[in-house]
Every structure is written in C-alpha cells, then in structure tokens.
Amino acid sequence: NYFLPTFFIVKKMQVVAVVYVISAIANVGFNLILIPKIGIMGAAIATLISYGIMAGMIYIESQTLIRVAINFRPIFITVIIAASVWYLLMQIDIPNAWVSLAVKMVILVSVLSVAALWIYKQKQVPLPLPL
C-alpha cells in the first residue's frame, strides 16, 4: 500500500490491476499445490507467498515510475524479530485458549511496538516530488 499512490500520481492503475491478477493466480496455484500436502497451513503459506509476489511486483513497478529511496534493513530486522518471538510464543503451552491468546498477543504487540519505535527513529529519507 505504501507504493500505490505512485500509480495514482502517474495515472497507471492498470499496472496495479495486472499485478493483482498475477498475485491471485499465484495464490490459487500455490493453494492447489500446498493444501493437499499440509492442509490449512498450506493455505496460509500460499497467501503469504502471493502477497510477497504482489508487494515485490508493486515495489519494482513503482520504482520504474518514481524512484523512492527506502532503507529496508529495519523492516527486515523487525520481521525476523516478530517471527522469532511468535515462534517462541507458540512453544508456550497455556491450557486456556483465550488466556493463551491474550498473553501471546500482549507480548507480541509489545515487541512490535518497540520495533516500530526503533524503525521510526532510524534516519528518515524524504520522498521526492513527482515530476
């Protein structure tokens, strides 16, 4: 969503439509492959992959229209931290499902909030004005 305004500015929304169609086709394809093998987790992984494809294509296409310098390092570090924390939280066994979910979400949101503050404090790069 961060890069979608680029397509509005240069009036190239058809590119976004094509990317969404490609992502949907990839999602269906990965679902057909992964669901029979690993069930509902296959559906989740297929969706994650298709969203990654969509985000990558939108980023690449937007950069060809309006160049924006972005530091991806803090974002990748935050994703790795969040995934690691979530994995560790899944190892905790609390018998009551609602208490388990509440405790895990409080911990995860706290970690992500600290990570968001860290990203915010990183060097900000101003966005260029469209030509």
Q: pLDDT tens across 48-92, in order?
A: 999 999 989 988 888 888 887 777 787 788 788 888 888 888 888
pLDDT digits (tens, 9 = 90+) for 23-41: 999 999 999 999 999 999 9
How many other C-beta atoms are found inside a 10 Å radius of the C-beta of residue 10? 14
CA distances from 10 to 22, 46, 62 (A): 21, 31, 10
pLDDT, residue 124, reads: 57
Place of tokens 């469209």: 130
How many other C-beta atoms are found inside a 10 Å radius of the C-beta of residue 89? 15
What global pTM score does this model have?
0.63
Map residue 107 onto helix, strand or coil: helix
